[in-house]
Amino acid sequence: MKLFIGVVLLAFLSVSTADEDHNGYQKGTRVDPPTNSTGGRQGKYFYAGNPGDTCKTSPPGTSFCTESNSCSPGGKVFTCTDLYGYTEPVACAEPTPYCTGNTGFGKCTAFPERTCETSLNYKCPGIGYFPDLYDCLTYYYCDYDANQKRLVPQQYACNSGYPFSADGKGGYNCAPKGTCVVPKCSSFIAAEWVPLNYSGSSSTMAVYCLNGRPKYVYSCPPGLAINSYSLTNTASPYCEVQCTRDLLRAPFVSDNTRYYECRGGVAYQVLCPRGRIYDSYTESCVYKPF
């Protein structure tokens, strides 16, 4: 009997920790946003029915968007006047081309719903795992799609209490007891770069903010960190080696036959043997793939 209980307990523990690595980091759950009838992504709030039927059960003065896809510009807003009655839909045009808002509070705005910015227009900075611009429990895996010939993001969600961390490895990017990290854009600065610090050390990522709203992520290759001076004194940030320990290795961005190696706090360039290239994953020179 004791042996049976021990086997069951072991099996339970194996299942409960299957999605965690040895540091307690978890893998996120894949999220596939809903699509409208034409296959396009849709925002969180939308209306896709008959205005008369909607106003039948809505008090006068409530307003709705007429488009089912609130992620696209050119939306329209109508307002209920009485049972079955409603105003002629008003087209949303620049500088407020999007129809957004909670159900019953549709209005023309300058920006689409936040859900549109993160699911439809996410700009991949490279191949790998990158944070959502608003929600620290959401992240994206970006990879190259040969059919579309571009980097394509796939959304993932972390469990509550396990926010995304760039320190995770191999897809285990939801950190146990981690800190919720989101870009802090200033409403007083038109355009700026804001660093994202996950481990309390030098940042490997920064977010471009425009008019107080985060727009896209800039990321350094593994082993490199963002030069803090470049965030405020150049048009775009650039990456550099941070020698936090001896024998630390980092890629040479413009030449994969070279890499950096830290010795005594100084980064030295090292050339790989002929026929080999530097591999960031193994931190060594490997033979070129055929």
**pLDDT 10s digit of each residue in the chain, 290 long?**
444 444 333 333 333 444 787 788 999 998 875 544 333 444 444 555 678 888 888 888 888 887 655 667 777 888 888 777 888 888 888 888 888 776 677 888 877 766 565 555 688 998 889 998 888 898 999 988 888 888 888 889 999 889 998 887 778 889 987 788 888 888 788 899 998 888 655 688 999 998 888 888 999 877 788 888 888 887 888 888 878 788 888 888 778 899 999 988 888 999 999 999 998 878 899 998 76
Tell me how crowded residue 166 is: count the other CB atoms within 10 A of its CB: 21
What is the separation of C-alpha 2 from the centre of its chain, rounded to a whole number of angstroms? 48
Its sign, for the CA torsion 67, 72, 76, 82, is: positive
What is the separation of C-alpha 149 from the centre of its chain, rounded to a whole number of angstroms? 20
What is the separation of C-alpha 53 from the centre of its chain, rounded to a whole number of angstroms? 38
Its sign, for the CA torsion 184, 190, 191, 192, is: negative
Domains of the chain: 19-30+116-179 (no CATH), 51-112 (no CATH), 183-242 (no CATH), 243-287 (2.170.140.10)
Amino acid at 187: S
Find out whether 222 and 280 touch, Cβ atoms under 8 Å.
Answer: yes
Cα 280 from Cα 221, distance rounded (Å):
8
| Structure confidence at residue 52 (pLDDT) | 80
Cα 230 from Cα 49, distance rounded (Å):
50
Find out whether 164 and 174 touch, Cβ atoms under 8 Å.
Answer: yes
| Structure confidence at residue 69 (pLDDT) | 55
Question: Where is 5: in which H helix or E strand?
Answer: helix 2-16
Query: What is the model's pTM?
Result: 0.61
Task: Give the tokens for residue 243.
Answer: 């020698």
Can the peptide bond before residue 59 be classed as cis, meaning omega within 30 degrees of 0? Answer: no
Question: Cβ contacts of residue 255 below 8 Å, gap of 6+?
Answer: none
| Structure confidence at residue 33 (pLDDT) | 59
What is the separation of C-alpha 48 from the centre of its chain, rounded to a whole number of angstroms? 28
Q: Parallel, antiparallel, or unpaired for β 213-219 and 205-210?
A: antiparallel
Q: Parallel, antiparallel, or unpaired for β 63-65 and 138-145?
A: unpaired
